[in-house]
């Protein structure tokens, strides 16, 4: 489906190839179209022309059958909604058909489409009603004989009439324009899928329709923030890959839509001249969508080490806080990283002396504080100033922190103990004596002899 996007000068340039040369401001300068093969009874000369006219450089169509063609020297003003030639309101579906066709075909370069559009406009606005009839000679009250002219137009025009009418009935308004942001959380720098959809009155999508867009705090993958998108040819929703560049990405879109009722342009100096329609059959449909976006989450990897040996220390309890070492750190969803007690979470190092904390809000200052000294490191642990490490978590990065513990001093004894168990050994002996019977008497005599000798010595001394 094509859409009117040509500037007025381009339209005129295209028309020059399809019509005979004429003065730009002459009365009734024809644009593109066809003459019918015959003129209906009582119709003035010129009424056989089916097509567009050029008025002040614009391609226009007439909606007052049989009146004089528009004069480029005569100024026009925007009037009210388009009525029939007899002054009656258009039926809603007819008004919607006309609005759609004016949106879709007023920049056509195909003579058969221009002629078909003129035929349908006259059929819908100048049919017999009120004072309008076929048998009058007064052009103001002459009705348009649609069947007569249809039969006298070339076959290519008749085919185009059926095509345009079907197109209008299938795609007429009112249209609605929708823009939707992704339901999932958006990350700055990462593309998300937004949705744009232009819907017809039957809630089916409008195919191949241009939609202007403006992005705030976001860009397309090619870096653009403004431009034109086109709905898919099958009328499905348009998926747009949008990359947030700030915290509040937003999409504003505008599409041309058939007006609820077309607007007619009225000559300011006379009533005895054609009223015209041009781009008055459209209106601007705006739509907006927005969401929030955050920086990519970060992570922290903590390693607990012996300050001297650099060996990992397992099973150490560590508290995770913000920069003030009191408030909890924040997760990517902006909730606090707390334990079941509602206080900053406490984690424990694994066998390799490490522990990881994923999905953290960025950028954010994180502090890791030791809760209690592991065994063998109690001597240098100060509860008022426990070992800690702090750092800034950046978007999409992992912050590596090390928390060190100084081991206890070894104790040296004043004496060096002997033995494997540190105790001084004491040598001991045990024995038993067994005397046989023959020896007992000999021993007794020896005792008596010794005693006698001792007594003799004492006597001699005296």
pLDDT tens for residues 58-108?
899 999 999 999 988 889 888 788 999 999 999 999 999 999 999 889 889
pLDDT class of 433 with cuts at 50, 70, 90 = very low
**152 SS3 class:** helix
H or E segment and range at residue 147? helix 146-152
Specify whether the CB–CB gap between 168 and 101 falls below 8 A.
Answer: yes
What token pair was written down for 250? 């937003």
Lowest mean pLDDT among 118-127, 157-166, 262-271: 262-271
Whole-model pTM: value is 0.67
pLDDT at 430 over 70: no
The predicted pLDDT at position 418 comes to: 55
Domains of the chain (ranges; CATH) run: 8-173+263-280 (no CATH), 176-260+282-293 (2.60.40.10), 298-405 (2.60.40.10)
What pLDDT is stored for residue 18 in this prediction? 36
Residues whose CB falls within 8 Å of the CB of residue 111, separated by 6 or more in sequence, listed in order: 18, 32, 33, 34, 51
Sequence length of the chain is 462
Q: Helix or strand or coil: residue 411?
A: coil
């Amino acid at each position: 489906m094509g859409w009117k996007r040509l500037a007025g000068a381009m339209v005129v340039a295209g028309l020059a190839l399809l019509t005979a040369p004429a003065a730009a401001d002459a009365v009734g300068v024809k644009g593109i179209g066809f003459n019918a093969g015959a003129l209906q009874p009582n119709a003035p000369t010129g009424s056989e022309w089916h097509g567009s006219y050029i008025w002040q450089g614009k391609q226009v169509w007439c909606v007052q059958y049989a009146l004089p063609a528009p004069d480029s020297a005569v100024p026009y003003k925007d009037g009210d909604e388009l009525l029939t030639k007899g002054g009656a309101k258009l039926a809603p579906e007819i008004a919607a058909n006309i609005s759609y066709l004016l949106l879709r075909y007023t920049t056509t370069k195909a003579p058969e489409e221009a002629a078909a559009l003129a035929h349908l406009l006259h059929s819908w606005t100048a049919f017999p009603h009120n004072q309008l009839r076929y048998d009058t000679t007064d052009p103001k009250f002459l009705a348009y004989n649609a069947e007569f002219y249809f039969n006298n137009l070339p076959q290519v025009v008749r085919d185009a009439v059926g095509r345009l009418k079907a197109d209008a009935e299938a795609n007429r308004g009112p249209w609605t324009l929708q823009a939707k942001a992704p339901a999932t959380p958006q990350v700055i720098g990462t593309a998300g899928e937004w949705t744009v959809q232009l819907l017809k009155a039957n809630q089916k999508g409008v195919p191949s329709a241009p939609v202007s867009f403006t992005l705030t705090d976001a860009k397309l993958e090619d870096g653009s923030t403004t431009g034109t998108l086109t709905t898919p040819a099958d009328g499905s929703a348009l998926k747009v890959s949008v990359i947030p560049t700030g915290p509040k990405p937003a999409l504003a879109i505008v599409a041309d839509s058939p007006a609820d009722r077309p607007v007619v342009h009225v000559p300011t100096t006379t009533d005895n001249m054609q009223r015209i329609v041009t781009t008055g059959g459209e209106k601007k449909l705006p739509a907006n969508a927005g969401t929030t976006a955050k920086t990519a989450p970060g992570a922290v990897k903590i390693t607990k080490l012996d300050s001297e040996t650099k060996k990992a220390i397992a099973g150490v309890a560590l508290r995770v806080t913000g920069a003030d070492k009191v408030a909890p750190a924040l997760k990517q969803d902006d909730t606090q990283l707390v334990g079941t007690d509602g206080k900053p979470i406490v984690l424990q190092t694994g066998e390799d002396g490490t522990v990881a904390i994923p999905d953290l809000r960025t950028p954010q200052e994180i502090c890791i504080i030791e809760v209690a000294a592991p065994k063998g490191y109690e001597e240098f642990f100060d509860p008022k100033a426990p070992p800690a490490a702090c750092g800034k978590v950046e978007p999409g990065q992992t912050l590596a922190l090390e928390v060190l513990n100084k081991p206890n001093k070894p104790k040296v004894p004043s004496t060096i103990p002997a033995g494997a168990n540190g105790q001084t050994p004491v040598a001991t002996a045990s024995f038993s004596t067994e005397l046989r019977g023959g020896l007992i008497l000999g021993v007794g005599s020896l005792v008596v002899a010794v005693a006698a000798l001792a007594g003799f010595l004492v006597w001699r001394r005296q």
